[in-house]
Amino acid sequence: MIFRALFLSLFIPVLAHAEADPQRVFRAGAAVSNITPFLGTDLIGGFNPRGSIHIHDDLFARCLVLDDGSNRLAIVIIDNVKFPTEIHLPTKQRIQQTSGLPPENVLIAATHTHSAPSLRGTSYLKLNEPLDEYQQFVIRRIADGVQRAINNLEPARIGWGTGTLPEHVFNRRWLLKQGQSVTSPFGEEERVATNPGGLLSQIDKPAGPVNPGVYVLSVRSQAGHPIALLANYWLHYVGGVGTGHISADYFGVFARELNRLYAEPGQDPPFVGILSNGASGDVNNNDYAHYNQPGRKRYTRYEKMQEVASDLTREVMRVEKNISYRDWVPLGAAAQTMTLERRRPSMAQVWRARDLIQNAPSIAEQDRDLSRRMVFERRALEAELWPETAEAFVQALRIGDLGLAALPFETFVEIGFEIQQQSPFKQTFVFGLANGDLGYLPTPRQHELGGYETWLTVSHAEVSASPKLVKKLTALLGRLHKEPHIPNSTA
């Protein structure tokens, strides 16, 4: 239980030596682990699981390890819709056993591809179920990837920068016109519709902002060859895969494009391109303001994700060309597990769910959307069995003048902006879907407006969670930033 106690305590930041050291060497290593499941495995990403019939492209855990001579950090991005809380603790424990890295020094996040198997185990919402075969496989493969990246450590230089790519990000939550509303599966009137393709005549304006920013972290060997490049873009996912296809979505296309353009012939260890997700809980790739305009392009399977990935790759390459690389930067990590109240269904919602399920055959004759409603009503009944609290692992990393912030949520853009604005670092990259999964994280105001992302079956933490999380994350970033910073040599 020592490991458990470690997670529930306030982690002391791992600090870089402040004194000048002419012998200091910055090192970096990268590796990938294949986490593709067998065909026939159920895929998640819709309202109902569906069996896989084809592997279009493999799924990976892409790993980057950084070492400043005193401290070591690992960043792992996995091709999955989530990195659930159920496997967060076991994965960090395995990494600590095999590689010696403490939990606060390891950031693990999901891309949010919707064409991968569930890592939740036997049920979408049941907690504390035994780990299934695929969960155990992924845990070991992530730990393997981190160890392989450590094995590949070599003297390196590091740099980062930002760009912009506005044409592929749109807020998917729309305010309805005055006097208009929609009804949730739980019978509540709401002012916001998510993905309002069937309500275009009723929509007024987006309910929140988008972030067109493109964030780039690049490491090269002292000899100049590329080791890895980690990009961060606040886009939910793209989609457009074949039915029953396993695919890493545009995240995988981006990695392959980057490898093709950056990897040197015969390079060993291989270059690793990585794309992570940011605060994109209310963002997707659909422009509902011009959704039915004449001449709107219709995409074939996989075409749109190729388009988005290619555009992003070009912008990332432009940013990378202007990066000033440092010979050495201090590294640090801080994390805390926060206890939040868990949202639970009201008695009225429970009674409604039970009544609907009991009378489903008669209701089906008048309700063509019954199947979808039934999904959420069953989830509401499962939610009745949840514990009263949930634990959120909040993490901050320091890479020189760069801050990294990670939350176990599908975080709304507004919250990501708050973190960046309140961070003391010159630049801060925000990672969503990291170190667990407590569903969507709207602001309190967005909760008032309603919409899919605010339903308790997909947004598990208390309505007031976001201000508390931003405050804690800002404090962790502040503690890391106060540590002495040694000036870096630049190109």
Model pLDDT for residues 64-114, shown as the tens digit of each residue: 999 999 999 999 999 999 999 999 999 999 999 999 999 999 999 999 999
Query: 103 in the Ramachandran plot: left (φ > 0), alpha (ψ -120 to 50) or beta?
Result: alpha
CA–CA dist 33, 58 (Å, integer): 10
pLDDT-derived band at 348, boundaries 50, 70, 90: confident
Q: Which helix (H) or strand (E) holds 6?
A: helix 2-8
Instruction: Give the burial string for 429-453 (b: 16+ CB within 10 Å, else e).
Output: bbbbbbbbbbbbbbbeebbebbbbb
Query: 128 in the Ramachandran plot: left (φ > 0), alpha (ψ -120 to 50) or beta?
Result: left
Higher pLDDT, 340 or 9: 340
Whole-number percent of the chain with pLDDT over 70: 89
Q: Residue 191: its pLDDT value, please?
A: 98
Q: Residue 19: its pLDDT value, please?
A: 38
What is the side-by-side order of every strand in the sheet holding 427-431? 331-341, 389-399, 402-406, 427-431
Find out whether 215 and 237 touch, Cβ atoms under 8 Å.
no
Identify the weakest region by mean pLDDT among 217-231, 356-370, 418-432. 356-370
* Residue 62 backbone phi and psi in degrees, to 5: -100, 125
Mind listing the pLDDT tens digit for each residue in 192-229? 999 999 999 999 999 999 999 999 999 999 999 999 99
Q: Model-level pTM greater than 0.95?
A: no
pLDDT-derived band at 127, boundaries 50, 70, 90: low
pLDDT-derived band at 154, boundaries 50, 70, 90: very high
* Residue 80 backbone phi and psi in degrees, to 5: -160, 165
State the maximum Cα–Cα separation within the chain, in Å, rounded to a whole number: 78
* Residue 172 backbone phi and psi in degrees, to 5: -90, -5
Q: How many CB atoms lie within 10 A of CB 51?
A: 10
Mind listing the pLDDT tens digit for each residue in 252-278? 999 999 999 999 888 999 999 999 999
CA–CA dist 103, 109 (Å, integer): 13
CA–CA dist 396, 336 (Å, integer): 9
Q: Mean pLDDT score of the chain, rounded to an integer?
A: 90
